[in-house]
Amino acid sequence: MHGDPFYSDPTSVEPGRVPPPGALPPMEELQPKQAPPPPYEPMPAPAAPPPPMAELEMVNRESEARTLVFAIGKFKDFLWWFLAVLEVALLLRFIFRLIAADPSNAFAGLLYALTGIILLPFNGIVKTPSLHNWAFEWPTLIAMAVYALIFLAITSFLRLLISTPKETAE
């Protein structure tokens, strides 16, 4: 340990050797650490919490609104399905009458009976030209167009009920 410049220093200790008591200078008294100040965060102004009943009422209204929107949407889906069935039935009637399908046949008779009720408001609106049993039914085509327009108007109105208002661009 001759290369150590502090060999004669009493604090210098060889490895494994404990210095005699009093050889080391006394240590300074440690001061207790103070807690660091908390970081500055602006505190928001305390807002008065809404009364629990008002909050519950608002949640109930939102739930009812979602239920109503769902019900109207499902009703619109049903109307489109019903229109598709109605249009297909009327188209089949038109084709069956055009090719002179026998009304005594069970399927053709059932189709004529069911669609006859739907066509009551349109019977006699226009003459139906026919040759033997073949007939070109204008009332059926007119009914198909009118029913499609009615259903389109109803579903457009229902869309207005469940859509949110659009903001106007200035």
Domain boundaries, the chain: 77-162
What whole-number distance in Å separates Cα of residue 81 and Cα of residue 85? 6
Q: For residue 108, which of 124, 89, 126, 125 has the smallest C-alpha distance?
A: 89
Predicted confidence (pLDDT) at residue 7 exceeds the cutoff of 60: no
28-51 per-position pLDDT tens digit:
787 888 877 777 777 676 676 655
Predicted confidence (pLDDT) at residue 86 exceeds the cutoff of 90: yes
Confidence (pLDDT) at 2? 55
Predicted confidence (pLDDT) at residue 1 exceeds the cutoff of 60: no
Helix (H) or strand (E) holding 52: helix 52-98
What whole-number distance in Å separates Cα of residue 70 and Cα of residue 51? 29
- Tokens at 117, concatenated: 């009720």
Confidence (pLDDT) at 20? 72
Its pTM stands at 0.59
Mean model confidence pLDDT for the chain: 82
In this predicted model, which residue has the larger pLDDT, 166 or 30?
30
Residue 119 Cα to chain centre, angstroms: 39
101-119 per-position pLDDT tens digit:
999 999 999 999 999 999 9
**Range in 16-30, 73-87, 126-140 the model is least confident about:** 16-30
Confidence (pLDDT) at 165? 66
**Range in 2-6, 56-60, 121-125, 131-135 the model is least confident about:** 2-6
- Tokens at 67, concatenated: 């239920």
